Structure formats: structure tokens, C-alpha cells
Amino acid sequence: MRIKDSFWIGLLIGAAVFALCFLLLSLIPWGEAYTRAPYLLAFIPGIVLFRMSMVKWNMERCGKGILLVNCIGLLLVFFLIK
């Protein structure tokens, strides 16, 4: 089954991938110096998924949604997590 090329679906996919990766990474006991590590590492699969959707699968609108989730999420991590 082929996924429809939609901006909103890209937003949902980007948020779901981030949430799943963050939940898995939050199980690792990080030290006090690495408070941002699970957040930042959880964005890597989203960036890889963005590249694959833009280049390999030719789904531009979906890729733009994934990129928007990653950009807003990274800005929130840098400005809100201390």
C-alpha cells in the first residue's frame, strides 16, 4: 500500500518517529551532563526519513512535513530544555 503524499501525513509521521525514538532513548540512564542527549538523538531518524522521502520516494509534501516537525522540535529543545 502506498502512502499518500500529504503535508499533514508528514507531520504525523515526523511526530510519531520522534516520539517512538525518544521513548526508546529515555530508557537509557543518561548522566546529569547529558540532559539534552535523548532529545537530540531522537531527531536523527526523522532527518534520515526526510531525506528518503524527498530523494528516494519522491514525496515532497510529506518530506516538508517531516522537516517542519524536526525544525520546530530542535528549536524547542534548544530554547526550553536547560
Q: What global pTM score does this model have?
A: 0.87
- How many Cα atoms occupy the beta-carbon half-sphere of 24 within 13 Å? 10
pLDDT tens per residue, range 21-65: 999 998 988 888 788 888 889 999 999 999 999 999 899 999 999
H or E element that contains 47 = helix 44-51
pLDDT for 1 equals 60
